[in-house]
C-alpha cells in the first residue's frame, strides 16, 4: 500500500513551489465542486469532548472513496502539540482496496487555503487588493499564500490576541513579497480591507468580528468556526450578507449560520462555480463564505496527492494489507499453529 509521508508532501511543495501547489490543488477542488451531484454527501462524524473534537470525513464519487481523520484541540499549543493533525485514505471502490495512506496535517492547511481563495475568487470584488487576517495560527500563512496565488493579493493586515503569534506571522512572510501590517486590534486590521479572513481556534461562541467593523463591498472568509457552539462573527453581520456554504446540512450545525433560524437563506458554493446561482450581485454587496471544511475538499486533496506524488513514484509502501497467494487461505500467512506440548502428549 502506498504511503505519502510528511516528508513527501514537503518535498512536493519545495520542488513545485507553494503557490503552484495551491493553484493546482484549487483546480482539483473546482473540478470536483463542479461535479457535485456525483458525490455521496453527509455531515462528518464528530466525537466532542471538553478538550476538542475528533472527526471522520468520508465521501465517494462512485469510483474512489476517501476519508480523513482529523482533530481540533485548541489547548494543544500549551502542550507543545499541533491544534490540528490529520491523515487520510484514498480507496478503489471497485475492489474496496485502499490505494494510499497519506499525511493530511500539512495537506489540510493547503486545501483549506485553496478552498478559501477559490471561493473568494468567485465572490469577492475582482479588484480586491488588501486582506485582513484575524487569527495568526498555523493556518494563517497558508491563507496569505493562497490568496496571492489565486487573486494576486499581497497586502495583508494581521491581528492575533497573542502578540507572539502575530510576530511569527510577520517573520514567516518577511522577504516573501508581501506587504504586512501588524495590528493591535481587529478594528485596526480591517481598516481598508477588501477581504476579511477570520481563522481562530477557540471552541466557544465569540464575536471576533463585530457588525460595525464590516463595511459595504467586503468579502468575509470565516474559516475558524467548525463545530457546534463555536462562532466568530456577530450574528447581525450575517443578516447584512449574502452567505455561501460548502454543504448546507453540515454548516447549519457547525458554521456561523448555527446562530440563525433554520430557514435562513444560504447558497452552496458549487452552485456559484457552475453558474447555477449568482455570487456577488453588486459592488456593495457583503459576501460571506461560511467555511467549515467538507469531505469533498479532502477527497480532492487526496486525488491531487495520488496524481502528483504517488504516480511519480515519490512514495514509500507499507505492509498493511494481507496478500496471501490464495485469497481464500488467509491462515496460510501465519502457518500451521504450533500444538501446545501438553496437548501433544
Examine the residue annotation and report whether 127 is marked as an active-site residue of this protein.
Answer: no
Give the span between the Cα atoms of 197 and 220, in whole angstroms. Answer: 6
Q: Sign of the CA dihedral 218, 169, 208, 87? A: positive
User: Angle, nearest 10°, between helix axes 18-34 and 140-151?
Assistant: 80
Grid cell locating 288: 460571506
Chain centroid to CA 198: how far?
A: 14
Give the span between the Cα atoms of 28 and 181, in whole angstroms. Answer: 32
Task: Judge contact between 164 and 188, C-beta under 8 A.
Answer: no
Find the catalytic residue in 226, 285, 290, 298: 226
- Short-list 240, 245, 221, CA closest to 116: 221
- From residue 87, give the alpha-carbon distance in Å to each of 70, 96, 340: 7, 19, 42
Q: What is the DSSP letter of 35?
A: T
Grid cell locating 327: 485469497
Annotated catalytic residues are 226
Amino acid at each position: 500500500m502506498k504511503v505519502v509521508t510528511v516528508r513527501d508532501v514537503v518535498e512536493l511543495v519545495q520542488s513545485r513551489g507553494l503557490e503552484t501547489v495551491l493553484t493546482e490543488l484549487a483546480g482539483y477542488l473546482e473540478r470536483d465542486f463542479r461535479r457535485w451531484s456525483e458525490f455521496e454527501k453527509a455531515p462528518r462524524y464528530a466525537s466532542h469532548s471538553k478538550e476538542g473534537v475528533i472527526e471522520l470525513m468520508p465521501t465517494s464519487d462512485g469510483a474512489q472513496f476517501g476519508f480523513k481523520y482529523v482533530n481540533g484541540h485548541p489547548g494543544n499549543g500549551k502542550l507543545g502539540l499541533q491544534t490540528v493533525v490529520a491523515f487520510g485514505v484514498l480507496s478503489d471502490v471497485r475492489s474496496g482496496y485502499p490505494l494510499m495512506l497519506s499525511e493530511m496535517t500539512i495537506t489540510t492547511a493547503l486545501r483549506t487555503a485553496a478552498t478559501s481563495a477559490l471561493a473568494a475568487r468567485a465572490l469577492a470584488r475582482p479588484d480586491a487588493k488588501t486582506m485582513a487576517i484575524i487569527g495568526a495560527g498555523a493556518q494563517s500563512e497558508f491563507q496569505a499564500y493562497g490568496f496571492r496565488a489565486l487573486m494576486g493579493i499581497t497586502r495583508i493586515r494581521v491581528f492575533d490576541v497573542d502578540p507572539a503569534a502575530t510576530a511569527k506571522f510577520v517573520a514567516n512572510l518577511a522577504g516573501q513579497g508581501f506587504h504586512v501590517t501588524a495590528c493591535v486590534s481587529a478594528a485596526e486590521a480591517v481598516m481598508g480591507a477588501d477581504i476579511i479572513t477570520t481563522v481562530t481556534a477557540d471552541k466557544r461562541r465569540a464575536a471576533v468580528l463585530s457588525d460595525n467593523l464590516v463595511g459595504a463591498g467586503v468579502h468575509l472568509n470565516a474559516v475558524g468556526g467548525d463545530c457546534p457552539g463555536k462562532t466568530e462573527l456577530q450574528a447581525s453581520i450575517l443578516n447584512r450578507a449574502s452567505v455561501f456554504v460548502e454543504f448546507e446540512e453540515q454548516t447549519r450545525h457547525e458554521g456561523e449560520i448555527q446562530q440563525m433560524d433554520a430557514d435562513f437563506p444560504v447558497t452552496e458554493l458549487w452552485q456559484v462555480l457552475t453558474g447555477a446561482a449568482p455570487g456577488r450581485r453588486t459592488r456593495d454587496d457583503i459576501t460571506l463564505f461560511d467555511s467549515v471544511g467538507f469531505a469533498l475538499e479532502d477527497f480532492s486533496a487526496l486525488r491531487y496527492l495520488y496524481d502528483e506524488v504517488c504516480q511519480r513514484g515519490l512514495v514509500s509502501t507499507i505492509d498493511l494489507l494481507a496478500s496471501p497467494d490464495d485469497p481464500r487461505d488467509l491462515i496460510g500467512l501465519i502457518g500451521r499453529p504450533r500444538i501446545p506440548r501438553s496437548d501433544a502428549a
